[in-house]
Amino acid sequence: MPPIRFGIWALVHGSRGALQDPDEPYDASWERNQALVLEAERLGFDSTLVAQHTINPHHAPMDQLEAWTSSAALAALTSRIEIITAIKPYLYHPVVLAKMALQIEHISRGRFAINLVNAWNIPELEKAGIGFAPHDERYVYGREWISVVEPLMRGETLSFSGKYFNIQDYTLHPADPYRSRPLIYVGGESTPARGLVADKGDVWFINGQPLADVRTLVADVSARPRTGPKLRFGLSAFVIARRTDAEAQTMFDHLLELAAKDAPIRSVQRANTDPYSVMAQTMLKTPRVGSNGGTAAGLVGSYDKIAQRIHQFSEAGIELFMLQFQPFEAEMSRFATEVMPRVR
């Protein structure tokens, strides 16, 4: 069983749970994210995930950090933590993106990864004039796109002719001196997403959800034909950790009340989300705090309970836990102090 790793979601669009929390004023600035990731590295976290949006997916007038320029800066400022940057294929030509990825890999000295996400926020692409293709067609595009990116990141000379791209005798220099190429994480839980990660991914990111559902997802994708190294798995989760279950439940109820104030914003977000995405369907299952499944993973309770729950997910195949907190800095520190030692 691989060692358990912990990561944090960078606050690219502010708070991950409630947007109107007096204990965590809205802040998606570079300054905050820089300080957050440096502190996460100091506390012993292994990874950070920098989600990619050009406009804020919750509320367009709010600030939004740009993922790729920020990741390059984080690569230069950090020394140990893995930097995973999300990418929506329609926003970057694959040759350009592969070159950018290799450059950040050099800056980080072998600590960079991309997270392939085939888009869900409709206005982000439609208002730019790019257009928002149907769900399954986006995966056809994404599969062809990563089929260009992957060999270029590997340093191969590529000629490729497909539906969307025609690449002739292309090589990127310098190649990756630290390993064969940056890692490829893949998000999404639809049938096309599962096929894509089995064929092209190194790590599958699963949205936060109950243990039984995670076991089913891991079993399904693990059984698919695959070449190359064994597929690894990550899980998104919002953590509420306290000395007792009762204290954690009180905090959960408090955050739910705060999140209720965001109902008008969330209704717009739901209208802007592709209804055919599995994430959109998962969000409607249970009351929760946080994005990408949030507290649905059940990491709410006493320190011992959460540590036990993490081990159960690990036994189900989860290697990397990509975590959210609120207020983020204080609760991240609490997790590092109280839960990490119990897990390890």
Instruction: Name the DSSP class of 206.
Output: E
**CB < 8 Å & 24+ apart, contacts of 80-83:** 80/41, 80/111, 81/37, 81/40, 81/41, 81/45, 81/46, 81/47, 81/48, 81/111, 82/7, 82/46, 82/47, 82/48, 82/111, 82/112, 82/113, 83/47, 83/48, 83/50, 83/108, 83/111, 83/112, 83/113
Residue ranges of domains in the chain: 5-343
Say how far apart CA 268 and CA 247 lie, in whole Å.
Answer: 32
- Among 57-61, 155-159, 217-221, where is mean pLDDT lowest? 57-61
CATH class of residue range 5-343:
alpha beta
Determine the pLDDT at residue 119.
72
DSSP H helical ranges for 184-327: 191-200, 211-222, 245-260, 263-272, 278-283, 303-315
Determine the pLDDT at residue 6.
98
Determine the pLDDT at residue 63.
92
- Among 197-201, 265-269, 297-301, where is mean pLDDT lowest? 265-269
Say how far apart CA 76 and CA 27 lie, in whole Å.
Answer: 22
22 CB burial (10 A radius; 0-12, 13-18, 19+): exposed
Nearest to 256 by CA among 229, 288, 224: 288
- pTM for the full predicted model: 0.94
For the stretch 71-116, pLDDT in tens is 999 999 999 999 999 999 999 999 999 999 999 999 999 999 999 9
Residue keyed to tokens 């820089």: 34
Determine the pLDDT at residue 127.
80
